[in-house]
Amino acid sequence: MSTASLNPEQYQAVFHRGSPLLVLAGAGSGKTRVITERIAALVERDVPEDAITAVTFTNKAAKEMRERLEKRLGERTKRLRICTFHAFGLAVVREDADRVGRKANVSIFSGAEQRSAVRSVLGDLKLPTDADQVERVISRLSSSKNELMADDASILAIREHYDALLQRMNAVDFDDLMILPIKMMREHTDVRAKWQGKTRHMLVDEYQDSSRIQYEMIRLLVPDTGNLTVVGDDDQSIYGWRGADIRNLFQLDRDYPTLTVIRLEENYRSTAHILHASNSLIAKNSERMGKTLRSNLGAGKPIRVWEVETAEDEAERVAADIKAQFASSRELHWDGFCILYRASYQSRPIEMALRTAGVPYHVSGGLSFFDRAEIQDVLSYMRLMLNPDDDMAFMRAISRPRRGVGAKALGDLGDFAQEHGMSLLVACSNDELEHKLLPTLRQFSDLISSLDHMFKHSEPDDAFDTLLDMSLLEVAIEKESADEDEYNRRMGNIHELRRWWLRHTDNGGNLSEFLQLIFLLADQENEPDGQVRLMTVHAAKGLEFDHVYIIGMEEGGFPHQSALDENRLEEERRLMYVAMTRARFRLTLSRAKSRKRFGQIEKRAASPFLLEPDQENLRWVDRDIDSEDAKEEVESHMEAIRKALGL
């Protein structure tokens, strides 16, 4: 990287000194480069690496930031703290775990384990434990912890038992990774002073996605005249439904009175037609700080608007257009195309059409690799080796594969463990335990001890293979698999986990760091190559494609009806702005005049987001069929389709 090619606003942001800084960075304006260059400039100014902390919201973003800095700073990058908010919170908890009743080897509960814990608590309190009730309680617990609701007596009682269960298991959930560090820093001035020293220069990326509780952490770490840099875009705040609060942007100049604001408005991604339309759309929002993006890529082509009769017509047209464009140019690749939709169910007709047309595609947002049953099975053994107090890992490991230890035996073991104040695993080898399954329980305890010894003292590949062999997991998968394909697929997943483990240990990592990496992993799978991408608009944030199709552009579809009912139109408009600015060169907006809903055909009005942008940047293809340009495009398009299909 070189600062020579920075534009004036980027340069000012990189080398700013003397006051807190807000970099208001528009879509495609080079914000990642600015924040990494600013970190590099601090290091080159002899700021100690361990006094710099950069936080963002996904491991993918943190990894990209670190890789860029490694090219610039080399080995010095290893001493920088670059991580997600939750990874930062985990570091705080682990370093002073005793302040919140934990040990340093604390476990992080996954969603499935949190559901199991809540179900257990509800059962103890003689409350309903059906799936819907569990999900409602988890939502209310999260809101309670994040101070998003006034607590009532019922949730306080559940939370007291739930928190006690987590503490007994030496575990935390994802909310705790924010709540507990704040509690520690509020109540212990020495903890706060220590972490303020480690964040003498704090940089926050994607700041518009921060929640109120994350902003409180920032305020505890950085005084009002401190070295705070936040980079964000009020026009891309689209996660209100999961706690992001756009008010954090407007609060900054009140909490940091000497705040400097620098706007990055030069866009390096999209052509002028796309940007002008996006600017005119988002200008309709009242809750924004204001900026106008300008393109350095030239005018480009107007945005196409299609109007079709049905969802099936829409899908066939998108598939045909992608195939025709791909066939017409050797420079195009399948992964240069992306189809966006407001709700995931809208992908179904598109998938059918792409399959029929022979177009390779990938639907983002499917089952995570690390959520697959066989992966969770292996990880439960690893977690139990690291943290013998992790009762959730014990419950999974002892039942995978089945050992004849059923619910009754586990209940008896749980009663004994609770009475003696110990974990389930420790109880298995307690001399006072009397049970007909005692040999099986002791054998399982010895197994975990043996595996723990292997992972500490043997080669990483031998340790992993011994886990598979001694646990009999591979035998269980072979018995359970319906056919050879299922067996190969599931074992293939485990072998992929093995490759991850060996790659991690080759780089000097240990079991604790490996599990931390996995359980904090927000972006679990590598992006697919060589396929058209299908995804919701929320999933597309931060990505860019040469050709983007936004389908379902009808009122009640996009904007979504629930947002209209709840008066959240401005967030929906920001979502549309994000969708439009994913496109580099070609943007197509499509609406169907009718769609099926609950088995009935319903007429649909055009989305207001088709009418709000400056119309000079849009071309309504189906209304403009008599123009010479439209005729030429249609004929060229049909010729490409005939060629693609070999006609």
pLDDT in tens, 517-564: 777 653 444 456 689 999 999 888 889 999 999 999 999 999 998 888
Phi, psi of 427 (to 5 degrees): -60, -30
CA distances to 15, 30, 294, 632 from 9, rounded to whole Å, are 10, 11, 13, 42
Phi, psi of 399 (to 5 degrees): -100, 0
Active-site annotation, residues = 31-32, 205-206, 236, 582
Task: Classify strands 594-597 and 600-603 as parallel, antiparallel or unpaired.
Answer: antiparallel
Residue 235 contacts residue 168 (beta carbons within 8 Å)? no
CA distances to 43, 246, 372, 380, 411 from 202, rounded to whole Å, are 13, 20, 36, 35, 48
pLDDT of residue 628: 53
pLDDT of residue 158: 93
pTM: 0.78
The pLDDT confidence band at residue 633, using thresholds 50, 70 and 90, is low
Higher-confidence position of 504 and 520 = 504
Summarised one tens digit per residue, pLDDT across range 182-225 is 999 999 999 999 999 999 999 999 998 888 999 999 999 999 98
CB environment 148-184: b (16+ within 10 A), e (fewer): eeeeeeebeebbebbbebbbbbbbbbbbbbbbbbbeb
* Cβ burial, residue 545 (10 Å; 0-12/13-18/19+): buried
The structure tokens listed for 476 are 């269980």
pLDDT of residue 279: 93
pLDDT of residue 187: 94
pLDDT of residue 246: 85
Range 630-638 average pLDDT: 54
The pLDDT confidence band at residue 647, using thresholds 50, 70 and 90, is very low
Higher-confidence position of 133 and 517 = 133
Summarised one tens digit per residue, pLDDT across range 579-613 is 999 999 999 999 999 987 666 788 989 999 999 99
CB-CB neighbours of 362 under 10 Å: 16
Between CA 364 and CA 63 the distance in angstroms is: 20
The structure tokens listed for 96 are 């002073």
Q: Indicate the residue type of 600.
A: Q
Q: Nearest Cα to 122, choosing from 167, 168, 154, 149?
A: 154
Residue 272 contacts residue 296 (beta carbons within 8 Å)? no
The structure tokens listed for 562 are 């629930």
Q: Indicate the residue type of 617.
A: N
On the CB side of 162, CA atoms within 13 Å amount to: 27
The answer for residues whose C-beta is within 8 angstroms of residue 554's C-beta and 6 or more apart is 591, 592, 595, 604, 605, 606, 607
Between CA 21 and CA 17 the distance in angstroms is: 9
Residue 637 clears pLDDT 70, i.e. is over it: no
Between CA 489 and CA 375 the distance in angstroms is: 12
Task: Classify strands 201-204 and 227-232 as parallel, antiparallel or unpaired.
Answer: parallel
Summarised one tens digit per residue, pLDDT across range 341-396 is 998 778 878 888 888 888 888 888 655 567 788 989 999 999 999 999 998 899 99
Percent of the chain beyond pLDDT 70?
92
Residue 217 contacts residue 191 (beta carbons within 8 Å)? no
Q: Left if phi > 0, otherwise alpha if psi is -120 to 50, otherwise beta: which for 191? A: alpha
3-class state of residue 554 by DSSP = strand
Give the length of the chain. 647
Q: How far is residue 489 CA from its own chain's centroid?
A: 25
pLDDT of residue 51: 93
Q: Nearest Cα to 196, choosing from 185, 207, 184, 211?
A: 185
Summarised one tens digit per residue, pLDDT across range 275-327 is 999 999 999 998 888 888 888 888 999 999 999 999 889 999 999 999 998 88
The structure tokens listed for 593 are 């005049």
Summarised one tens digit per residue, pLDDT across range 85-102 is 999 999 999 999 999 999
